Amino acid sequence: MQISSRFTIAIHILTCIETFKNDYKVTSDFLAGSINVNPVVIRRLLSQLKAAGIIEVARGTGGANAARPLKEITMLDVYRAVECVDKGELFHFHENPNPKCPVGRNIHNVLDSKLDRVQRAMEDELGRISMEEIITETQQFINREN
């Protein structure tokens, strides 16, 4: 199981939007150059971030901005906006374990609550990290390079 790259790409998008907003028109082509992916991927993610109320996108002239203060946007918000988790469940459980097998018959009873706890712990931690924190730390790394 692995969370798709959509999540980290969306974080990258938001970080670029904030970092370059005063110097460049932050378009899907600009973002694609930083992330090194096809602009179509960027446009799809921008659409999802916009639908979630995380960004605003200017039509025609292009460009994107955060729709609300960065300290109010968490990694969990971004994750929920772009990840396609089935029914909100991070872990996809094999659906037909063999009921004739003692393990197959009981594995759901053992794992379901544990996997729920793991997912809640991950989501709790994502909810504690704001985009402001991500962007501030990124800027610190950029400043060290100069």
Q: pTM of the prediction? A: 0.87
Give the tens place of pLDDT for each residue, 18-76.
Answer: 999 999 889 899 999 999 999 999 999 999 999 999 999 887 766 889 999 999 999 99
Give the tens place of pLDDT for each residue, 68-106.
Answer: 999 999 999 999 999 867 667 778 778 888 999 999 999
Fold of 5-145: Arc Repressor Mutant, subunit A (1.10.10)
The residue among 69, 78, 61, 70 whose CA lies nearest residue 26 is 61
Please state the domain extents for the chain: 5-145
Cβ-based burial of 26 (10 A; exposed 0-12, middle 13-18, buried ≥19): buried
Residue 138 parent element (H or E): helix 131-145
